[in-house]
Structure 1
Amino acid sequence: MLMTITAEQAQQAIPDANSQKAAKKLSRCEDWHNKGASSEQWIWGEITGSAIYQSAVFLPELKFECSCPSFKRPCKHALGLLLCYVDHQILFPMVDEQPERVKKWIEKKHKASQKATSSEPAKAVDPEARAKRLAAREKKVDDGIGTLEVWLHDLVRLGLAKARQDSYSLFNQISTRLTDAQATGLLAWIEALHTALFTEHWQQDSLNWLGRLNLVVHLWQRRSQLDPLLQAELRQLIGFTMTSDQLATLPFEKKHYWTLGHKIGALNDGKGRYRRQWLWQPEQQQPALLLDFEIGSFTHFPLALPLGQLQPLALQFYPSSVPCRAKLAEQPSTIAFSNDSIPQGAFAHFEQALQHHASRLSHNPLMTQECWLVENLYLHLIDNRVYAVDQQQALLPLSIQDHWKLMAAVGDQAFLLAAEWNGQQLDVLSVWQNNQMSCFY
């Protein structure tokens, strides 16, 4: 069975508006001839331009091939083929024999995959050498955390108002020190504190991040007393990554999840981007986070899951006292469309969501955000700030780039909201109303 590619997934592969326009012109099914597909998830076809061009797409990775002379990759022909497939998947028959050029592309892909996986067998990990490296790394982190503790105390003694004036030198100093100490995971929190100094409610926001950083200092200094899962969470936050052999041993479970929304942003160092994909497990009212990174031209985001769909996913959760971040144990090949047109298992009101969040926070005080799904909400505008109102008349502020678009979309009717909760406001991901999903990011 061929993979189902949604229009939203296809958009990920289109690099710019010009490519979008050109590909759309070449997406008409009648313009493509000798269309076909293989059980290995390749599709192909021929289109006539200044010559006859043959294009192919490897669906799991959206990898494109084309015989045209264009230097731009993916080219408009291959993108047009993909858009044609999105709208007319049934017209791509499975065949046993591929065209010669397509065979060569498939063989090239096979060889590249074999080269990546059939290199010399991985050397056995030397536990003693790994322990020594880990001890040396922890000693560096100890020194960096010690410096951070002194820096936080100095910041409070100096006063936050003074820190606003000298912020560049103060924050550049501690960022450099934490980088040298191999505790780069904390740089995001340092940047969050720096940003908080210049928000509208800077006193409250700054103290919030000061408290969180101080908590990290005390937990690290007492890490031997922590629950192993909380200690694992702390290490991931500081920047200790799991090795490939450790990731391979993570247990996985297969359940049905809704895909609620994506968030894409720039990394603090400006050298790449991150993408958060939020999933929702309706029976347990539990969020799951797929976190991916794109670093320059070296790595690219994998194919995102289709939005607003319920499908069975095999997930491996990173060690945590409150499991949330996960990785796909296997790439889904099809979408299991649900009879339900909107996600189930939503919170009935904000109090229920806050109680659930407080329970999770009591097990993992390092948690800074998670995804909520809340039903039967209404919009309310106060001093040009938009709020969500639940059935108990409780209000929480919403963060959205253009709240007028949201207000125009839902009007004065009830809606279902998916959003990131950071302890202060809800950052809108998507809404459902009248069985229709709208995304806002």
Structure 2
Amino acid sequence: MQLTLTTQQVEALAPDRASIGKAKKLAEPVHWRVIGRSERALWGQCRGSTDYDVQVDLSDLKSKCSCPSRKRPCKHVLGILFLAAQKPKSVPTNDEPELVREWLGRRAAAAAAKATTRAAKAAGKKTVDREAQAKRAEKRAERVADGLKQLDRWLRDLVRVGLATVEETSPGIFEEQARRLVDAQASGLAGWVRRLGTIPLSGPDWPDRLLGQLGRIALLLRAYRRLDELPADLQLEVRSIIGWSVPKEQVLSDGERRQDRWQVFAQELTEDDRLRVQRSWLIGKESGARAL
């Protein structure tokens, strides 16, 4: 296996320019009592008053030297790397010495332990995140339920006193209820209630139209109270109308899939205090199916 290493790579590892100069003086075979390489490592024993054992992991160029220098990598590590880069034929391929095998084994074990620790921390964080997300969803469900109960009482009072009072108070009373629903995080339904304010005095039949829309809302509230009894696709639709966002994963797993060439035939853009919602109505060119 050809060792691909450049002098630029080696110089980039050096702690300072002085170390580069000293290391290049050691980049000759004569300075090395033992030298060799494998697919995993480069190693050698640098001659001197004391011979120093040098080891380099070729996967990331991390190194170890038995010398006492505080600079890392030291001149011995840089020297063997310069030698391998400039005169690769001077570094024969050999079996890894036991010293090198043990060092690489310790490095691999340490890396595996770090990976396990990171994975455990990530799993723990995901668990905490899921628990926090579940708590937030539970609190929101409580707020939505309280908001819908208040809206139900308001609808009953409105029907009890009669729609004639709406002429004097519209659209203010509808806007007030819509804001309460936004505060309760039921922004989708808030849009329905806000649009009720456009009906009074909009034509001679406005009481009938308003009563019809109030009936739709009352039916929606009843459906939400009995959500668990509804089919899965209808549950998604009711929750979406109320203002719950449906996770992409749930749409892909539970939603109906139909291939067609879809055309947009209507769009609606509504704005609440904290949310802008765009709805697009589609019709399949080939099947005639409709979708929202």
Q: TM-score, normalised by structure 2?
A: 0.50
- Decide which structure has greater helix share: 2
Q: Based on CA coordinates, which of the two structures has the bigger radius of gyration?
A: 2
- Decide which structure has greater strand share: 1
